[in-house]
């Protein structure tokens, strides 16, 4: 199938500062911060020594694609991104096994018990 490992995990939060403080205590490290105009969100990345990351993300606009899931499901794991050898081939293989896909990069949350699964070349 070509899955190599976890690239990053995304956690939806209502209060980025409170979440950063909690994860700072848990992980004993400082995050890298950024914002995304496309996602209409603020982000904090805790880059782990093994190359994976925990991303905390807070929507800043009701039109953010994260606002609906945050409202509907609350805070928690939003997505898991897997590094794969070949994203298109892995997505096609999954679709061939009747996994519900969203394009060639995502497994529908309904197929993964409420978690959006992302496929990343890498």
Domains and CATH numbers, the chain: 3-121 (3.10.180.10)
Rounded to whole angstroms, the Cα distance separating 62 from 107 reads: 24
Low-confidence ranges of the chain (pLDDT < 70): 1
- What six digits make up the tokens of 109? 């949350």
Contact call for residues 32 and 53 (beta carbons, < 8 A): no
- pLDDT value of position 65: 94
Record the pTM.
Answer: 0.92
For the stretch 90-99, pLDDT in tens is 999 999 999 9
- pLDDT value of position 122: 85
- pLDDT value of position 1: 57
């Amino acid at each position: 199938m070509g899955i190599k490992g976890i690239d990053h995990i995304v956690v939806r939060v209502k209060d980025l500062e409170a979440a950063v403080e909690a994860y700072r205590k848990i992980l004993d490290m400082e995050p890298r911060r950024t914002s995304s105009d496309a996602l209409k969100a603020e982000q904090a990345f805790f880059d782990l020594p093994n190359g994976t990351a925990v991303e905390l993300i807070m929507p800043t606009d009701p039109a953010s694609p994260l606002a609906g899931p945050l409202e509907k499901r609350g805070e928690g794991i939003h997505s898991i991104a897997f590094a794969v050898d070949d994203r298109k081939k892995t997505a096609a293989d999954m679709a061939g096994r009747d996994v519900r896909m969203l394009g060639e990069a995502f497994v529908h949350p309904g197929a993964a018990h409420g978690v959006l699964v992302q496929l990343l070349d890498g």
